[in-house]
């Protein structure tokens, strides 16, 4: 990078004396993009909590298949909204108070069964610190043709499903939620906080299950009715949320134009500016999505609250128009990306389809 008033033409050039520095990018962001009054964060939290309560009430009281299906879809979106509120709290951008961020973050993550301190560790300290860096960023980290060739038949089938548009939720559920937050072994200094938060999530799920099972039993008088109430109100919305959030994370960081970098070539600029996207959603969608699709400024500086991301994005895009990925969010593009981006060649810096990988050779390995 060069001077602040002369944006770089190459993403890997030095800035402020450091290769790939983000400081010239951060300086483009208006000061007002960091304003985060307490009332505004509380407004989003309370509003989303009320919406979640209404969805739960609807699922408890309604049994018509069409109504229940519609509420399941809505539940995934509403829980995602609460999750984005918690996500901002975990970054410390929702409130100035660290204590308030922690309280709201813990509460807002309960409907998604997420471990708050586990999320802080995996998301803030790893994903954000090493976005699209080989061997570091674990979120949708691609496999190479050689790694795919070494898989068992069952592992290949799982990969083909999880890396399809239909399997995004299964990938997120297994790789991010289960492996990293629920059963993963955290570093020693994080262990106590994460163990505590796992117990909080477990207590929420158990308490909610018991209460819902009791409601189901009183309404139907059968064990099947009790189990259905738990499944309908608690479990299916959680699974729908996983599909929604898994799909969102995929489109944030996986497309043919986004490179993953070997550790020796990676820089913060490549990871945080080139390694994610600005996706413009239809008018009104941010009522639920909270601008989470405006992802470049969020990766450039986590201190920007969600409702100012568009302001920051416009400033960054004006300074780096040839670098920033800025496009409309379209489901067909997500489907196309999942067809095109299956495996990765880190030496050539490009995504491969399974068909292309079938002709790839390295060290005698060939994918069949």
Contact 75, 59 (CB under 8 A): yes
Cα–Cα distances (Å) from 143 to 19, 140, 163, 273, 309, in that order, read 27, 9, 11, 23, 31
Query: Which residues are 350's β-sheet partners?
Result: 345
Q: Tens of pLDDT along the chain (368 residues)?
A: 222 223 333 333 334 446 588 999 999 999 999 999 999 999 999 999 999 999 999 999 999 999 999 999 999 999 999 999 999 999 999 999 999 999 999 999 999 999 999 999 999 999 999 999 999 999 999 999 999 999 999 999 999 999 999 999 999 999 999 999 999 899 999 999 999 999 999 999 999 999 999 999 999 999 999 999 999 999 999 999 999 999 999 999 999 999 999 999 999 999 999 999 999 999 899 999 999 999 999 999 999 999 999 999 999 999 999 999 999 999 999 999 999 999 999 999 999 999 999 887 554 455 55
- How far is 322 from 93, CA to CA, in rounded Å? 28
Q: In a 10 Å sphere around its CB, with 0-12 CB exposed, 13-18 middle and 19+ buried, how is residue 52 labelled?
A: buried
Contact 29, 23 (CB under 8 A): no
Contact 301, 312 (CB under 8 A): yes
Nearest alpha carbon to residue 107 among 57, 48, 55: 48
Residue whose entry in the numeric block shows the structure tokens 């001077």: 3
Cα–Cα distances (Å) from 162 to 100, 168, 172, 264, 342, in that order, read 36, 6, 9, 29, 10
Angle at which helices 236-253 and 65-91 pack, to 10 degrees? 50
Distant-in-sequence contacts of 277-284, Cβ < 8 A, 24+ apart: 277/251, 277/252, 277/253, 277/325, 277/326, 277/327, 278/313, 278/317, 278/324, 278/325, 278/326, 278/327, 279/251, 279/252, 279/327, 279/328, 279/329, 280/326, 280/327, 280/328, 280/329, 281/329, 282/329
Query: What is the per-residue pLDDT for 6?
Result: 30
Query: What is the per-residue pLDDT for 241?
Result: 98
Query: What is the per-residue pLDDT for 200?
Result: 98
Q: In a 10 Å sphere around its CB, with 0-12 CB exposed, 13-18 middle and 19+ buried, how is residue 270 labelled?
A: buried
Query: What is the per-residue pLDDT for 360?
Result: 72
Contact 224, 99 (CB under 8 A): no
Query: What is the per-residue pLDDT for 222?
Result: 96
What are phi and psi for residue 96, nearest 5 degrees? -75, -25
Distant-in-sequence contacts of 344-353, Cβ < 8 A, 24+ apart: 344/142, 344/143, 344/144, 344/260, 345/144, 345/145, 346/134, 346/144, 346/260, 346/261, 346/262, 349/259, 349/260, 349/261, 350/256, 350/259, 351/142, 351/256, 352/145
Query: What is the per-residue pLDDT for 368?
Result: 53
Token duo for residue 140: 């949708």
Vertex 28 angle, CA 27 and 33, to 5°: 95
Query: What is the per-residue pLDDT for 14?
Result: 35
Reduced to 3 states, what is the DSSP secondary structure of residue 18? strand
Query: What is the per-residue pLDDT for 365?
Result: 52
- How far is 165 from 246, CA to CA, in rounded Å? 10
Query: What is the per-residue pLDDT for 5?
Result: 29
**In the chain, where the domains are located:** 33-308+322-366
Query: What is the per-residue pLDDT for 7?
Result: 32
């Amino acid at each position: 990078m060069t001077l602040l008033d002369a944006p770089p033409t190459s993403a890997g050039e030095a800035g402020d004396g450091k290769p790939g520095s983000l400081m010239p990018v951060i300086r483009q962001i208006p000061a007002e993009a960091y304003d985060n009054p307490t009332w505004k964060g509380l407004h989003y939290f309370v509003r989303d909590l009320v919406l979640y309560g209404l969805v739960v009430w609807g699922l408890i009281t309604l049994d018509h298949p069409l109504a229940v299906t519609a509420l399941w879809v809505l539940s995934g979106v509403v829980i995602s909204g609460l999750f984005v509120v918690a996500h901002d709290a975990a970054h410390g951008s929702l409130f100035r108070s660290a204590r308030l961020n922690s309280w709201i973050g813990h509460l807002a993550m309960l409907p998604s069964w997420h471990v708050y301190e586990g999320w802080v560790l995996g998301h803030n300290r790893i994903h954000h610190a090493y976005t699209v860096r080989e061997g570091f960023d674990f979120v949708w980290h691609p496999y190479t043709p050689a790694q795919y060739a070494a898989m068992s038949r069952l592992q290949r089938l799982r990969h083909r499903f999880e890396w399809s548009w239909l399997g995004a939720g299964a990938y997120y559920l297994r790789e991010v939620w289960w492996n990293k937050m629920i059963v993963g072994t955290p570093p020693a200094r994080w262990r106590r906080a994460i163990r505590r938060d796992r117990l909080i999530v477990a207590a929420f799920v158990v308490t909610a299950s018991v209460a819902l099972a009791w409601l189901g039993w009183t309404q139907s008088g059968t064990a099947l009715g009790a189990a259905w109430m738990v499944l309908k109100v608690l479990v299916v919305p959680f699974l729908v949320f996983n599909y929604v959030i898994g799909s969102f994370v995929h489109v944030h960081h996986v497309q043919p134009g986004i490179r993953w970098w070997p550790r020796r070539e990676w820089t913060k600029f490549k990871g945080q500016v080139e390694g994610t996207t600005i996706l413009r959603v239809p008018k009104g969608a941010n009522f639920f999505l909270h601008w989470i699709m405006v992802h470049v400024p969020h990766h450039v500086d986590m201190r920007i609250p969600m409702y100012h991301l568009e302001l920051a994005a416009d400033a960054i895009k004006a300074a780096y128009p040839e670098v920033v990925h800025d496009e409309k969010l379209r489901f067909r593009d997500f489907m196309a990306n999942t067809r095109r981006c299956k495996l990765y060649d880190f030496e050539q810096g490009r995504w491969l389809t399974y068909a292309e990988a079938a002709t790839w050779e390295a060290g005698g390995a060939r994918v069949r």
